[in-house]
Amino acid sequence: MSLCVSLAFACDTGDTQNPDTAAPEPVEDTVTEKPASPWSYPVARVSPQVDDLHGVGIADPYRWLEDLDSAQTREWVEAENAVTFGYLETIEERAAIQAKLASLWNHERYGTPWQEGDRFFFSKNDGLQNQSVYYWSESFDGEPKLLLDPNLLSADGTTAVGSLSVSHDGKLAAYSLSDAGSDWQRWKVRDVATGKDRPDLLEWSKFTGISWTPDNKGFFYGAYDAPTEGDEFEQVNKNQKLYYHQLGAKQKADKLVYADPSQPDWQFDGDVTEDGKWLVIDVSVGTDVRNMLYVAALGRGGAVSGKVVKLISELTASYTFIGNQGGVFYFFTNDNAPRGRVVKIDVGARMKAAAAAGDDGAGLPALVLDEVIPQDPHTLQSVSFTGGRLFAKYMVDAKNEVRVHDLAGKLERTIALPEPIATVYGFGGKQDAKQTFYGLMSFTQPYAVYSYNVDTGVSTLWREPKLAFDASRYETEQVFYASKDGTKIPMFLIHKKGQKPTGDSPTYLYGYGGFNISLTPRFSVPDLIWLEMGGVYAQPNLRGGGEYGEAWHDAGTKLTKQNVFDDFIAAAEYLIDSGWTRPDKLAIGGRSNGGLLVGAAMTQRPDLFGAVLAGVGVMDMLRFHLFTIGWAWTSDYGSADDPEQFKALLEYSPYHNLVDGTSYPATMVYTADHDDRVVPSHSFKFAARLQAAHAGPAPVMIRIETKAGHGAGKPTAKQIEEWADLWGFLSDQLDMTLPPEF
């Protein structure tokens, strides 16, 4: 095969080329001289690597940057950081922005409390602590006692708690820890009263919770096999298994509850019913919103008795277990209801029928779903079974509304929320609870926590952060605009109260658009700083998210993924056409799937934006499925292994659609060298190719954080440093002048 490199990194190899042939013969690497530029970037080695995908030659000149630990890659990272931070240090506004971030971040804040046994548990951050601290008390407003302080586990705050689950009697807390932002977690168990850890240690766990048995002597959890010597790290992301851990036992003695070696991509998560009689096993495949459900009866001490019965054995819809009354189980599902509904199933009868048939239930007649809460014009987001009632949280044009139903589905009330444009979390608790808790936040109001009387419906403020920010100076409005195909898309705009479009406001357009994830109003200190800098913040609800149910999500996946980019580009055009801003004052940003979003938008419409912040993005859409957990994203993206999906992926893959000689917007790619979800090679390759292709005067740089991961658990100090750099970059490139009062 001849070396075949086009501007789009792809060229037809001809009809006679066998797409199943091996990769081309290796050719000696070359180094190309770069044209003169106002910015001196490190020279990245250009490799003649070409892959044959379905008869198309795909050039991958920076494949060598996938070897994250090679000396060449490390040298390149150091050289790129030297250029990037050398530039950032010249930005005068950066220090003021960092000081303002630290000042505003320094406020006391609480997580939503919950009760186990006679004890209450909650998290709290004093302000600038790198990680929130967990406390417990003997009563609702009792004296807090320290349970777990993650800040003591590492000097730089990079060891974080992933999740924490307390036993039913409130005496033990199982918690997971991760280092440097890794998805991999290890579980430990702490005695609540003494604050001392037990010897239990469970490793090689990710994307799983734990569920305690009713005797408080153990719990169910998911884990992968530890890699053996010589294994590639990626191989441990297959064949997850569900285990039962008995307190005090070594992990190697844990009992295997369920696994399916024939399905290495399946993941299993166990949930013990509140009455302790059943184990509900959620069976998922990567990020596919559809799942399967298995059920097992639990005997003495929480041991599985009898066979695991397949309640839902095909990927046809999503099902979430809500709670049960005896053998009658309640589920939140999108089965025949793309915007969601609540159904109940007589699981007890199903288990008896499976036992009588002597099989696992897969051969039984179709399940009967008894509808409790029908599909609504608005999207049902989640449901909890608390205090003998069903708390149903809806999205009404991406804003939350909470309705309370009885178990027959009758509406009792719609909760009067303190903020009309807000996001709500909580309403958990036991089935006999008289009190529950919820938290609420908006774009300009921090997360406040309320207690809620289940019988009277009265909300009482429990904790509300106080910070040096005058929310009354700003307002939030929601607009609707037409995408390329005419679809109506909602977008939140946050700006100074009374501000009118003048055509020159620095504007930050942030998006995501994928994996059924909804962008509802959220409180963010960095976003407040952007407002204080004089900027306008815009957040559209793109297809691919879950704001309008599964149909909305599906319309932004696989062969229709381009809809997401069209929605985002149309949002930018709306902001310009309506007079809020102009291209040289418009910045776009996104992280992870949102990094893909802005990468695709800037390659498709480089003329439309003044600056780009591309965080931990999926930039190589032809190879993402080959690294760590990337295979799990094919439910949204598709795979280059499929000929038709390959064509769609190649059309928008940011790495493959950079064109030599193009003037691209000022761009800051940012990633972390320990990101084991979206591996940093995506950003490395994209940045190297962007610097080679770019012909304009604007800087196109990459900021590479060390000892950090994808984002979860990132220490407060590192967040402040990162956002000071990002906002500093935008202030310089959008030619912003900080207000005198900043």
Residue position matching structure tokens 């000042």: 103
Do residue 508 and residue 652 come from a single domain? yes
446-474 pLDDT, tens per residue?
A: 999 999 999 999 999 999 999 989 999 99
Is 655 among the domain residues? yes
Q: Are 567 and 487 spatial neighbours (Cβ–Cβ below 8 Å)?
A: yes
Do residue 493 and residue 508 come from a single domain? yes
Whole-angstrom Cα distance, residue 741 to residue 357? 75
Indicate the number of domains in the chain: 2
pLDDT for 90 beyond 50: yes
Q: How many helices (H) and strands (E) does the chain have?
A: 11, 40
- Check: pTM over 0.85? Answer yes or no: yes
pLDDT for 4 beyond 70: no
Residue 485, CA distances (Å) to 359, 480, 482, 563, 567 in order: 50, 14, 8, 8, 9
Domain that holds residue 444: 377-466
Q: What is the pLDDT, as a whole number, of residue 54?
A: 97
Joined tokens for residue 568: 């985002």
Do residue 505 and residue 647 come from a single domain? yes
Is 210 among the domain residues? no
Q: Are 208 and 223 spatial neighbours (Cβ–Cβ below 8 Å)?
A: yes
Is 265 among the domain residues? no
Whole-angstrom Cα distance, residue 268 to residue 327? 22
Nearest CA to 418 among 404, 433, 438? 438
Final residue belonging to a domain, choices 414, 444, 466: 466
Do residue 676 and residue 590 come from a single domain? yes
* 715-726 average pLDDT score: 96
491-538 pLDDT, tens per residue?
A: 999 999 999 999 999 999 999 999 999 999 999 999 999 999 999 999
Q: Report phi then psi at 704, rounded to 5.
A: -115, 110
Mean pLDDT across the chain, nearest whole number? Answer: 92
Joined tokens for residue 682: 């995506």
291-309 pLDDT, tens per residue?
A: 999 999 998 877 888 889 9
Whole-angstrom Cα distance, residue 342 to residue 732? 51
Is 410 among the domain residues? yes
Is 45 among the domain residues? no
Q: Which residue has the higher pLDDT, 27 or 286?
A: 286
Q: What is the pLDDT, as a whole number, of residue 25?
A: 37
Q: What is the pLDDT, as a whole number, of residue 313?
A: 93
Do residue 481 and residue 569 come from a single domain? yes
Element (H, E) at 122: strand 119-125
* 400-425 average pLDDT score: 96
Residues 6+ apart with CB under 8 A from 386: 427, 428, 429, 430, 431, 433, 436, 454
Q: Report phi then psi at 333, rounded to 5.
A: -145, 160
H-state helical runs in 268-426: 347-357
Is 371 among the domain residues? no
Q: What positions carry a catalytic annotation? A: 592, 710
Direct distance between the N- and C-terminal alpha carbons of the chain, in angstroms, rounded to an integer:
60
Identify the top-confidence range among 205-209, 232-236, 524-528: 524-528
Q: Indicate the pairing of strand 666-672 with strand 611-615.
A: parallel
* 391-405 average pLDDT score: 98
Nearest CA to 636 among 569, 539, 546, 571? 546
Q: Are 419 and 442 spatial neighbours (Cβ–Cβ below 8 Å)?
A: yes
Q: What is the pLDDT, as a whole number, of residue 32?
A: 45
Other CB atoms within a 10 A radius of the CB of residue 94 amount to: 19
Do residue 552 and residue 695 come from a single domain? yes
Q: How confident is the model at residue 37 (pLDDT cuts 50, 70, 90)?
A: low
Is 517 among the domain residues? yes
Do residue 526 and residue 647 come from a single domain? yes
Final residue belonging to a domain, choices 445, 466, 487: 466
Please give the DSSP secondary-structure letter assigned to residue 665: P
Do residue 526 and residue 419 come from a single domain? no
Do residue 428 and residue 574 come from a single domain? no
Do residue 600 and residue 502 come from a single domain? yes
Q: Report phi then psi at 490, rounded to 5.
A: -85, 155
* 567-577 average pLDDT score: 98
Q: What is the pLDDT, as a whole number, of residue 21?
A: 30
Joined tokens for residue 252: 């190697």
Final residue belonging to a domain, choices 466, 485, 502: 466
Q: What is the pLDDT, as a whole number, of residue 10?
A: 34
Whole-angstrom Cα distance, residue 361 to residue 346? 14
Output the CA torsion 415→420→423→426 (10° steps). Answer: -20
Do residue 503 and residue 580 come from a single domain? yes
458, amino acid identity: V
**Residue 547's CATH number:** 3.40.50.1820
Do residue 473 and residue 437 come from a single domain? no
Is the CA virtual torsion 87, 92, 93, 94 positive or negative? positive
Is 18 among the domain residues? no
